Amino acid sequence: MGYTVGSINPSKTAVIVVDMENDFVEDSSPMASTQAREAIPQMRRVLELARRTGMKVVYTTHAHRAAGCDMGRFADLYPPIATGTSLVDGTRGVEIHHDLEPAEGEIVIKKHRYSAFFGTDLDIVLRGSGVETVVIIGTTTENCCHATARDAMFRDYFVVFVADATGTFDYPDVGWGAMSAAEVHAATLSILAFSTADVTTVADLEKRVDAAETPREALES
């Protein structure tokens, strides 16, 4: 079970940077993901690779209107969303963290649910750019990154999920036991690798993309 994306062609690949906004990154935020913040250097490596080789880069930011009309069940699940403490559209909290800020011309898509495809024009943007493979980085591993990877696979994109450029937070016990961020992350990667995506590392991604970029003559010389 599981699959490997045999060839990563930069001209047909997009990196999706999932929800690396201030409210998920900064330590003072009630929804901060420490593991994702620690993975920022690895995410920067992926972005440098993408921009150097011509891969499309698309960012997402999870945001809700202050009036709450688009919160849905998130208002029941997350008190900081319900009270307007976090993820409020138009605030600094939903802006992309300065360590990963978009380059000129790179798209930022606002979303209201875990998946970056749900209720957005992401699919239109990707297909209009000739994208066949998506590379997922960002936060959180098990929710927004996972849901985006699943929805990409459902739409027949090849999915590359970067294990050391994604991250999450510690889960408290809500009746079924607590889990550390490391445990949640590892479990999600195992599930994705079996059923959804080519799970890899930044170093391996760099090697595979650079190999695809190297002219055949150079490889054979």
* Spatial CB neighbours of 192, under 8 Å, sequence gap ≥ 6: 146, 149, 161, 199
Three-class secondary structure of residue 46 per DSSP: helix
Per-residue pLDDT tens over the stretch 96-119: 999 999 999 999 999 999 999 999
* Spatial CB neighbours of 102, under 8 Å, sequence gap ≥ 6: 57, 59, 96, 108
Q: Is the pLDDT of residue 184 over 70?
A: yes
Confidence class of residue 7 from pLDDT cuts 50, 70 and 90? confident
Q: Rounded to an integer, what distance in angstroms lies between the CA atom of residue 143 and that of residue 185? A: 10
Q: Is the pLDDT of residue 214 over 70?
A: no
CB contact at 8 A, 135 and 43: no
Provide the greatest CA pair distance for the chain. Answer: 63
* Spatial CB neighbours of 87, under 8 Å, sequence gap ≥ 6: 21, 23, 31, 62, 63, 64, 80, 81, 93, 94
Per-residue pLDDT tens over the stretch 200-213: 999 999 999 988 77
Q: Rounded to an integer, what distance in angstroms lies between the CA atom of residue 19 and that of residue 87? A: 10
For residue 64, give the nearest of 52, 80, 48 by alpha carbon: 80
CB contact at 8 A, 133 and 3: no
Per-residue pLDDT tens over the stretch 65-77: 999 999 999 999 9
Question: What φ, ψ does residue 200 adopt, rounded to 5°?
Answer: -145, -175
Q: Residue 216: its pLDDT value, please?
A: 47
Q: Which fold has domain 10-220?
A: Rossmann fold (3.40.50)
pTM (2 d.p.): 0.95
